[in-house]
């Protein structure tokens, strides 16, 4: 089940303020209220950018760690393969698939 953050386009929904919709007509004295609302939205978005940057750094660090681990394991596996080839060790040949006749 997907969460709210995974729904595509949900982040792009405009708020009442950014959509320009108001329940009452604008009044000259509401400029202070508009400034306050815009200031709060700017602070919220700044915090969100900070959180996203930290999350991106953590994800990138983890991806780098995974790449390092994969390279180490690949090198170990390559060395094992080279040792097997140099020693002339062959895979044991099995009997192959077991078969049997089926009659209908």
Alpha helices (H) along the chain: 16-19, 31-87
Whole-angstrom distance, CA of residue 35 vs CA of residue 17:
11
Whole-angstrom distance, CA of residue 50 vs CA of residue 56:
10
- pLDDT tens string for the chain (104 positions)? 556 566 666 566 666 555 566 666 666 667 888 899 999 999 999 999 999 999 999 999 999 999 999 999 999 999 998 888 888 756 566 667 878 888 87
CB contact at 8 A, 38 and 64? no
Q: Is 29 helix (H, G, I), strand (E, B) or coil?
A: helix
């Amino acid at each position: 089940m997907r969460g709210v953050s995974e729904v595509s386009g949900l982040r792009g929904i405009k708020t009442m303020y950014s959509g320009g919709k108001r329940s009452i007509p604008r009044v000259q004295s509401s400029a202070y209220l508009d400034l306050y609302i815009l200031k709060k939205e700017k602070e919220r978005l700044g915090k969100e950018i900070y959180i996203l940057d930290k999350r991106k750094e953590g994800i990138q660090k983890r991806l780098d760690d995974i790449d390092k681990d994969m390279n180490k394991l690949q090198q170990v596996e390559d060395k094992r393969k080279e040792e097997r080839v140099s020693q002339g060790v062959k895979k044991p040949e099995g009997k192959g698939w077991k078969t049997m006749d089926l009659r209908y």
